[in-house]
Chain A
């Protein structure tokens, strides 16, 4: 949890000091509604980057651009050294397996049990036997502390449990980059804190680089190595938690009150 110590192992693979992810000057509008207007974000290796911003500023749109769910009108996105806008379908799918995406609503598959949900990303993997897959599923659930929910349906789970199962499902492919869309939204403070700790555990254990969208400033305090604030489709400011907390900009300070 000590931020300085986690910064010391930023470079997981020697020789690869390029950022995990780089967004350069992206623009996106829907019909006449211009959402992103030249946004730049760089995510260092092994870094937890928290993104703050009002509802509707395009935070979700930004991270959906990263995985190619939304195509920006202009700009470049480089993920793990690859320009994702130039990839063919097959290459894009391979790259997507290295990126974990925790959706705002957890996006569990309603018609499947927790076990089937976790098995789903593994289904195209022919090199694993059924036993090995089961082993991975159990390991992933154990990591989020929900092994006893393995045979439940998503509708039987609470909000916090759904988020954790969603997290387990994305972690099963051992992603190098994690994107969290409001992971603590709608949860009580105690569960939020647990999720925050879980995000830190993920970083320690899998050496992931993460972007975390959140409004939850208590959670941001636990997890953030660096925070950026979005406004009107561009980056308003960035800095560490302490720097932004003492910022001169009233708009930035408003998030911390």
Chain B
């Protein structure tokens, strides 16, 4: 029974690790890093699955507009109504448009939209890929000579990365409209006046970093959804697990990335 050969499990797998959960954590990090590396390698090398990319962008981006629009609208409306009393206390009610605009553009728009998409898109990708794995569709692609990583994973991650910024911009605009409506509940402000106040209050350093980080948020949603779905191994039960952990992990990652982005922006401006 001499099995000492190439594909033999590594020594770590043979003996029980000292701290199993710590070990699992680091092996998951390693696997995710390798997965990310494979993505960047595949995304740059032909053949490119352009049609599938367009189809995924449609499914991921276009189909999320209603949800993102509604949440954006409510966000702007509620934020304005909630902030009014505090500003009124200081007699600074005229600052309302500026304050709301800055908080929506810099922080709330990107983060809330990304979290909504993590819930809608991330879980969808996780479940879809997991069920493709369980029903052997991924294996079937591979044996018919087509690279499933390129066709399934790369297109989805890329579509998420490209679509999330568009969704965030859309959500920001709708949120500002909601805010305009809320300002008008108590006083009369014209549309032009409101938006000139908003635009005056926004500097390049507000808009640009906020826009850049949305690409990373989109990437994180696609990456985690695909990672969890692609490597599921618990049969049908794994489908639910993959969807669930895709949402949890990508939401967490969005907050962590946001924190890092804030630190970097602080240093730069």
Residues of A in contact with B (beta carbons under 8 Å apart): 27, 29, 31, 64, 67, 69, 71-74, 93-94, 96-97, 99, 101, 103-105, 107-110, 120-121, 123-124, 169-170, 173
Contact = CB atoms under 8 A, between A and B. Distances in A.
B21 to A, nearest CB: 18
Contacts of B131: 110
A120 B135 CA distance: 17
A169 B142 CA distance: 14
B136 A97 contact: no
A108 B140 CA distance: 8
A31 B146 contact: no
B127 to A, nearest CB: 12
Interface stretch (B5-13, B84-92, B106-114, B219-227): B5-13
Nearest to A123: B146
B137 interface: yes
A97 B145 contact: yes
Contact of B146 (A29, A69, A121, A170): A121
A121 B144 contact: yes
Contacts of A97: 144-145
B145 A96 contact: yes
B256 interface: no
Nearest to B145: A93
Contacts of B9: 31
A103 B136 contact: yes
B234 to A, nearest CB: 14
10 tightest CB-CB pairs across the interface, nearest first?
A107-B140, A121-B144, A107-B136, A93-B145, A103-B136, A101-B143, A67-B143, A97-B145, A74-B5, A96-B145
Contact of B145 (A72, A107, A121, A169): A121
B5 to A, nearest CB: 5
Contact of B7 (A31, A69, A73, A121): A73
Nearest to A27: B3
B146 A124 contact: yes
Interface string B127-163: 0000110011101111111100000000000000000
Interface of B: 3, 5-9, 13, 47, 131-132, 135-137, 139-146
A242 to B, nearest CB: 34
Contacts of A31: 9, 13
A210 to B, nearest CB: 15
Contacts of A169: 144
Given A31-B13, A104-B136, A107-B135, A96 B5 contact: no
Nearest to B139: A69
A29 B9 CA distance: 9
Contacts of A101: 140, 143
B213 to A, nearest CB: 31
A110 B137 contact: yes
Contacts of B13: 31
B5 A73 contact: yes
A109 B137 contact: yes
A74 B1 CA distance: 11
A169 B3 CA distance: 38
A96 B144 CA distance: 6
Contacts of A93: 145
Contacts of A104: 136
Contacts of B3: 27, 29, 73-74
Nearest to A94: B145
Contacts of B140: 101, 103, 107, 109
Contacts of A96: 142-145
A107 B146 contact: no
A226 to B, nearest CB: 24
A99 B145 CA distance: 10
A103 B140 CA distance: 8
Nearest to A74: B5
A104 B135 CA distance: 9
